[in-house]
C-alpha cells in the first residue's frame, strides 16, 4: 500500500511524498525545500530513498542537495534536464519505469512548460504527479516549449483513467477557476466546483489532488471542443491546437 502526503511550502507549492508500507521505501516529488521534508520524515521515522523531479525550476529542486547530503537518496530526473538538476543519479525518458518497493512509477515526458518536463504515473495508487504541466482547472505556462508540445502533453494525460488523482505542484485552483468561468460561464459543473473551491480555500484547506474526471468537466485547457469556449474566443471552426493556443495566450494576459 502507498501512502501519499502533500506538504504546502513557500507561497503556493506542494511537495508530495510517497511511502510504501511494505518495503518501507519513501520518495519525495519536487522538494522545493529540504527542511519540511526532513521534519516530516523524522516525525514518522521514515527513511528517504528517492527524489523524483519533474523539471529543473528552483521551486521544484531547491531541496535536492541537502536531502541528498542528509540521506544519500537516489535522485531521478528527465534525461533532458540531467545537467540542470542537482545530484541526478538516474536520467529517465518517456516510457521508463522506476520502482518504489513493488510499485512501478511510470515516466511520461510532457514538454511544454519546460523542454525536459516529465510526470510520474503510479497506477497502483491511481495517482499522477504532474508538476507544472497541468493544474486544477489550468495548465503550465509556455516557458521553453511550444503550444503544440504542451497540447500533446495534455492529451497524453487526458487519456489516463478518469479516476486518476492529479497531484499538481501548486495551489492555483481559485485563480484558475476565475479564468475558466470567464471562458465558459454557462458550465454548471464549473460553477458548482468554483463554489466548492472557494469554500475550501476560505477554510485554509488544499484543493489538491484533483480527479481527472473533474478536470475533463471543468478545465478549459481540456475542453477545447466546448462550443461555448470556442464561441467566446471567436474560433468556432478552428482546430483544437488553435483553440488551445488562444486559450493559453488569454490566460497569460488574465
Catalytic positions, written as ranges: 55, 57, 59-60, 113, 132, 170
Closest alpha carbon to 140 in 161, 120, 170:
170
CA gap 190, 212 in Å, rounded: 14
Beta strands at 74-78 and 47-52: parallel, antiparallel or unpaired: parallel
Is the four-CA dihedral 29, 32, 35, 40 of positive or negative sign? negative
> Residue 26: beta bridge partners?
19, 48
CB atoms closer than 10 angstroms to residue 222: 20
What order of strands is seen across the sheet that includes strand 47-52?
A: 2-9, 13-20, 25-29, 47-52, 74-78, 90-92
Task: Decide: 19 and 82 in contact? Cβ < 8 Å.
Answer: no
Question: CB-based burial of residue 11 (10 Å sphere; 0-12 exposed, 13-18 middle, 19+ buried)?
Answer: exposed
The CA-based angle 6-252-81, given to 5 degrees, is: 55
Match 466546448 to its residue by C-alpha cell: 226
CA gap 112, 79 in Å, rounded: 15
CA gap 133, 117 in Å, rounded: 8
Amino acid at each position: 500500500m502507498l501512502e501519499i502526503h502533500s506538504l504546502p511550502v513557500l507561497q503556493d507549492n506542494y511537495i508530495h511524498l510517497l511511502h510504501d508500507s511494505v518495503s518501507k521505501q519513501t520518495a519525495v516529488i519536487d522538494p522545493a525545500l529540504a527542511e519540511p521534508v526532513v521534519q516530516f520524515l523524522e516525525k514518522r521515522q521514515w527513511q528517504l530513498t528517492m527524489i523524483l523531479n519533474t523539471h529543473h525550476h528552483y521551486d521544484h529542486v531547491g531541496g535536492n542537495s541537502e536531502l541528498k547530503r542528509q540521506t544519500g537518496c537516489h535522485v531521478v530526473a528527465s534525461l533532458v534536464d540531467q545537467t540542470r538538476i542537482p545530484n541526478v543519479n538516474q536520467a529517465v525518458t518517456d516510457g521508463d519505469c522506476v520502482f518504489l518497493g513493488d510499485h512501478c512509477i511510470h515516466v511520461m515526458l510532457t514538454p511544454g512548460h519546460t523542454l525536459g518536463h516529465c510526470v510520474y504515473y503510479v497506477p497502483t495508487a491511481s495517482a499522477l504527479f504532474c508538476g507544472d504541466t497541468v493544474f486544477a482547472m489550468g495548465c503550465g505556462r509556455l516557458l521553453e516549449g511550444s503550444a503544440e508540445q504542451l497540447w500533446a502533453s495534455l492529451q497524453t494525460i487526458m487519456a489516463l483513467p478518469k479516476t486518476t488523482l492529479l497531484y499538481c505542484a501548486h495551489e492555483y485552483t481559485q485563480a484558475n477557476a476565475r479564468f475558466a468561468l470567464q471562458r465558459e460561464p454557462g458550465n454548471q459543473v464549473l460553477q458548482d466546483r468554483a463554489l466548492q473551491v472557494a469554500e475550501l480555500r476560505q477554510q485554509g484547506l488544499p484543493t489538491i489532488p484533483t480527479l481527472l474526471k473533474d478536470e475533463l468537466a471543468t478545465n478549459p485547457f481540456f475542453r477545447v471542443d466546448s462550443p461555448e469556449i470556442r464561441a467566446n474566443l471567436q474560433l468556432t471552426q478552428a482546430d483544437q491546437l488553435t483553440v488551445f493556443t488562444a486559450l493559453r495566450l488569454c490566460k497569460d494576459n488574465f
